[in-house]
């Protein structure tokens, strides 16, 4: 098991393929880490699918509006187009690199449009550096992420069973 150094800034994500532990970087992207923590504590990510999973690139999920398969609002055709009801976040681009296991915010063409969706890199993706807000790193469970069903969109997507702040477990 991974060593949890800062329980308030560590997320434990149970997925259909296994447990994933993410160490957040509040010193790199404080507003984004706060948003993820807030949504986690609300249970917003529980049941949310990884709607876009591209081999040798990344797994994207976090659409709490259309991507929650346990909700009556679940719409597989619209998963990836929604967000939370909270305002979009200003970009927090940094020198932190996109490497295997990096957790970063998804966004539209507008750099200040990140909201609830995020992705986890399968491999190094230097072309994303300084273009997306990196907010954390997988410290345990990349083997589970590697097993996610691939597709764009994914036909039978894996999902987050539950996501918790380590301090609350």
CATH number at residue 57: 2.40.100.10
Check residue 109 and give its pLDDT: 96
Residue 112 neighbours by CB distance under 10 Å: 13
Rounded distance between C-alpha atoms, residue 2 and residue 138, angstroms: 10
Residue spans of alpha helices (H) in 73-147: 142-146
On whether residue 1 sits in a domain, the answer given is no
Rg (CA), the chain: 14
Check residue 130 and give its pLDDT: 98
pTM over 0.75: yes
On whether residue 2 sits in a domain, the answer given is no
| pLDDT tens for the chain, residues 1 to 169 | 789 999 999 999 999 999 999 999 999 999 999 999 999 999 999 999 999 999 999 999 999 999 999 999 898 999 999 999 999 999 999 999 999 999 999 999 999 999 999 999 999 999 999 999 999 999 999 999 999 999 999 999 999 999 999 999 9
Check residue 73 and give its pLDDT: 87
On whether residue 83 sits in a domain, the answer given is yes
Task: List the domain range (segments joined by +) for residue 148.
Answer: 7-165
Number of domains the chain contains: 1
**Which strands make up the sheet holding 58-61, listed edge to edge?**
52-54, 58-61, 118-121, 102-105, 134-140, 18-24, 10-15, 160-165
Check residue 1 and give its pLDDT: 74
On whether residue 101 sits in a domain, the answer given is yes
Residue 82: name the closest of 54, 119, 116, 110 by CA: 116
On whether residue 138 sits in a domain, the answer given is yes
Q: Please, what is the Cα angle at 127 between 156 and 150, to 5 degrees?
A: 10
């Amino acid at each position: 098991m991974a060593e949890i150094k800062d329980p308030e800034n560590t997320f434990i994500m149970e997925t259909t393929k296994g447990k994933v532990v993410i160490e957040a970087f509040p010193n790199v992207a404080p507003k984004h880490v706060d948003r993820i923590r807030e949504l986690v504590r609300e249970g917003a990510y529980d049941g949310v699918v990884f709607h876009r999973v591209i081999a040798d690139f990344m797994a994207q999920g976090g659409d709490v509006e259309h991507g929650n398969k346990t909700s009556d609002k679940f719409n597989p055709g619209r998963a990836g187009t929604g967000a939370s009801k909270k305002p979009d976040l200003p970009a927090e681009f940094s020198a932190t690199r996109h490497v295997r296991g990096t957790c970063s915010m998804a966004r539209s063409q507008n750099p200040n449009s990140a909201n609830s969706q995020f992705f986890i890199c399968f491999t190094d993706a230097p072309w994303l550096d300084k273009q997306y807000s990196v907010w954390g790193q997988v410290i345990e469970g990349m083997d589970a992420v590697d097993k996610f069903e691939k597709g764009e969109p994914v036909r039978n997507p894996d999902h987050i069973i539950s996501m918790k702040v380590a301090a609350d477990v």
